[in-house]
Structure 1
Amino acid sequence: MRIAFAGESLIDFTCTSGLSFEGHEGGALTNSAIAAARLGQPTGFITQLSTDLFGERLWRHLESNGVDMRFVLRSEASSTLAFVERLATTNRYAFYTHGTADTLWAPTSLPALPDSCRYLHFGSISLLAEPAAGRITDLVEAQCGRRIVLFDPNVRPSLIADMAAYRARMPRWVAACDVLKFSDEDCAFLTPGLGLAEAAAHFLALGPRGPSAVIVTRGGEGATLYRKGHSPIDVAAPKVDVADTIGAGDTFAAGLSVALLEQGVEQVAQLAALPDDAWREVLRFAATAAALNCTREGCDPPGREALRVALAAS
């Protein structure tokens, strides 16, 4: 296991017409784990899955994609469900999370990740419900300095009853990460009134601990990397025929860690020392993986060969 993902696992029901919906395995961290595994890195998942029919489907989906399931607990609680309506430039969500298996993840002892695991991802709706939110935070803080931690807030405003309280918790999560990735849509909720560069600077300035790198994605416009003492680095997103944007950000996040590992980055000090040209390759890798995901319905990240061909053609 080289990359571990801690967080939610759910079924996305995507609206096809009227009240007709088509189900897909999903959840931000689940999507990222699948993406990293398909891109060729040994990947593990940390969550709790239901024993209901949806939980069984999620287990098979993760396992069949080669994800290490040793840290996945089981529960008789129901599975989390999400209903998705596609809008012109984004998606509208309705989540059903009360008392579900992944939100109840609360092991007495935190998982003992193997030494081979160099990256840990967290974020999204898994941080919105207790007890899972608190235990995931405990897990991440226990790994500070031991692995490179990537945080993607993936804000879902419809699930956040008190946005001010959510923002108040953000500095603790940001302080526990080495790489912070968020979207331009996230920015409006995380740091209202600030532009993307100002928001990145705000998070980079959060005390002695905190991210070495902040990456802001802008959908089809690409992404920008911000670091202390460096000029921003922009990469464009490949132009593709978009079928669905679900899971694009999750695939981008996975692509970051896969590409960084392939650059030999396994320690925080190496992350900070990575030269600009290497960062451009990392961002290009992640952006291309995310674009390929958008060419298919639901979250369906590309395999390594498809990504290799796309990168060679660009």
Structure 2
Amino acid sequence: MTSPAPRFLVIGECVADVVRVDGAPDRVHPGGSPANVAYGLARLGRSAMLLTQLGDDAHGRLIRGHLEAAGVTVRADAVERTPSAVVELDGDGRAQYAFDIGWTLASAELPFVPGHLHLGSIAAVTAPGAAAVLELVEQWQGRAGVSYDPNVRPALMGERAEAVRRVERCVALSEVVKASDEDLAWLYPGEGPESVARHWLALGPAVVAVTRGAAGAFALTADGTREEVAAVPVPVADTVGAGDSFMAAFLHTRAAGAPLSACLTHAVTAAALTVSRPGANPPSAAELATALAR
């Protein structure tokens, strides 16, 4: 008997996050924004496959084991070494990244009909692999839901105007888009996040959500709805993976048919649980339910 097709197909990079804090030994956490989203979806009980690249090395084995333990199906092209990032944390737990990464994903035929495709971060805009990602998205657009999180990494984005062009192409292919206010500030200096969100809506998405850290999050829809929620206050261990947990919980809740306000509430709660503990460690369905019940 064949296993059921994954509901969510996530396309993008895995990264070994080498977390560095003054006075403490390095800690290695499985990471990469798309990988974190796939992991977060699986932790919430969704069937998820990750189309990615991994090396046959210690970092690659760590990441694969981490993902598969949560129930993610991993389909990975082999590369010489698994991408990595040195993550330096400031006194407030905010992360700065220095990357050793490439993205060369080849075009691929999918072994199933996806219900939803999620793309984001480095893999969506980095040549040559981004071409294969966009080819898949264009193939399935209109037949599957599509979501996108630019998760901007300035050191890897190149010249700003070209980065905006690549990001906006992904936005235009997507039904749901999520970005942080920091992403938007880098892409569109001097423009307010709500102004950018409305600009993106005009490109085609049904929903644009914007996270604002301790200020919470808001979302706009193509039909004129606006919802905003406050952040959930928690002691911050670090901010690694917070946006990815937000994205996973938002998609999970939206797939269940919940209203926009509930999607945002679930998402900010999942993000709060993630920042309260080290690394990209999104909540399980039971943890999220318990936190929401409080």
Identify whether the pair has TM-score above 0.5, normalized to the shorter chain.
yes
Alpha-carbon deviation of 1:112?
4.2
Structure 1 gaps, min length 5: 265-277
Q: 1:89 to 1:65 in 2, by over 3 A?
A: closer
Alpha-carbon deviation of 1:218?
0.5
Deviation string, structure 1 residues 110-143 (Cα, Å, up to 9, x no partner): 32432xx322110101134322111111111111
Structure 2 gaps, min length 5: 1-5
Q: In structure 1, give the amino acid aligned to 2:222.
A: K
Matches within 5 A, 1:73-84: 73-84=76-87
What is residue 302 of structure 1 aligned with on the other side?
283
What is residue 6 of structure 1 aligned with on the other side?
11
Question: Contact (CA 8 Å) 1:38, 1:303: kept in 2 or not?
Answer: yes
TM-score by length of 1: 0.87
What is residue 177 of structure 1 aligned with on the other side?
174
Question: Contact (CA 8 Å) 1:52, 1:76: kept in 2 or not?
Answer: no
C-alpha separation in 1, matches of 2:24 and 2:165: 37
What is residue 290 of structure 1 aligned with on the other side?
271
Alpha-carbon deviation of 1:190?
2.0
**How many pairs were matched up?**
288
Matches within 5 A, 1:251-266: 251-263=245-257
Q: In structure 2, give the amino acid aligned to 1:195.
A: G
Deviation string, structure 1 residues 82-103 (Cα, Å, up to 9, x no partner): 00111237321100014xxxx1
What is residue 94 of structure 2 aligned with on the other side?
90
What is residue 223 of structure 1 aligned with on the other side?
217
What is residue 197 of structure 2 aligned with on the other side?
200
Deviation string, structure 1 residues 165-195 (Cα, Å, up to 9, x no partner): 1112222111100011000001112222211
1:24 counterpart SS class = strand
Alpha-carbon deviation of 1:19?
8.0
Q: In structure 2, give the amino acid aligned to 1:83.
A: V
Which 4+ stretches in 1 moved above 6 angstroms?
none
Q: In structure 1, give the amino acid aligned to 2:250.
A: L
Question: Contact (CA 8 Å) 1:51, 1:74: kept in 2 or not?
Answer: no
C-alpha separation in 2, matches of 1:12 and 1:292: 19
C-alpha separation in 1, matches of 2:225 and 2:101: 41
What is residue 3 of structure 2 aligned with on the other side?
none
Alpha-carbon deviation of 1:257?
1.1
Q: Of the candidates 233, 236, 240, which is equivalent to residue 242 of structure 1?
A: 236
1:293 counterpart SS class = helix
Question: How much identity, in percent, do the aligned residues show?
Answer: 38
1:104 counterpart SS class = coil
C-alpha separation in 2, matches of 1:149 and 1:113: 16
Q: 1:179 to 1:76 in 2, by over 3 A?
A: closer
1:55 is aligned to 2:54: no
Matches within 5 A, 1:95-174: 95-98=99-102, 103-107=103-107, 109-114=108-113, 117-174=114-171
C-alpha separation in 1, matches of 2:223 and 2:189: 24
TM-score by length of 2: 0.93
Question: Contact (CA 8 Å) 1:119, 1:257: kept in 2 or not?
Answer: no
Q: Which moved more, 1:141-150 or 1:13-22?
A: 13-22
